[in-house]
């Protein structure tokens, strides 16, 4: 068995579709880009020298930043950043390993 981990840093694009209202008008949905991080872990399990199974689980988290601040004073200084994760997504995958 070979355990492994994965970290991905990138971006995600949310493409919204227009939503109809009860009065017949439409709400226009904007496309939104977000900074995103993915954390994953898994294992490769070998049944023989040529055959195995690869298992993986990931958590994907788009991030938004609401504000930042830098302050100085007689007692010290500091930095603050506020934001959050609007939605968490996950996936599980499995695959067959065949060595030729």
Query: Has this prediction a pTM greater than 0.95?
Result: no
Residue 13: which domain range? 2-98
The contacts of residue 14 (CB under 8 Å, 6+ apart) are: 31, 32, 33, 34, 62
Number of domains in the chain: 1
Percentage of residues of the chain with pLDDT beyond 90: 56
pLDDT at 60: 92
From the list 75, 62, 77, the residue with the least C-alpha distance to 8 is 62
pLDDT at 58: 96
């Amino acid at each position: 068995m070979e355990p492994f981990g994965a970290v991905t840093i990138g971006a995600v694009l949310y493409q919204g579709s227009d939503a109809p209202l009860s009065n017949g008008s439409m709400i226009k949905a904007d496309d939104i880009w977000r900074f995103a991080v993915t954390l994953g872990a898994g294992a490769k399990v070998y049944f023989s020298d040529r055959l195995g199974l690869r298992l993986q689980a990931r958590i994907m988290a788009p991030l938004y930043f609401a504000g930042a601040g830098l302050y100085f004073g007689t007692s010290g200084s500091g930095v603050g950043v506020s934001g959050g994760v609007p939605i968490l997504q996950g996936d599980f995958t499995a695959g067959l390993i065949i060595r030729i």
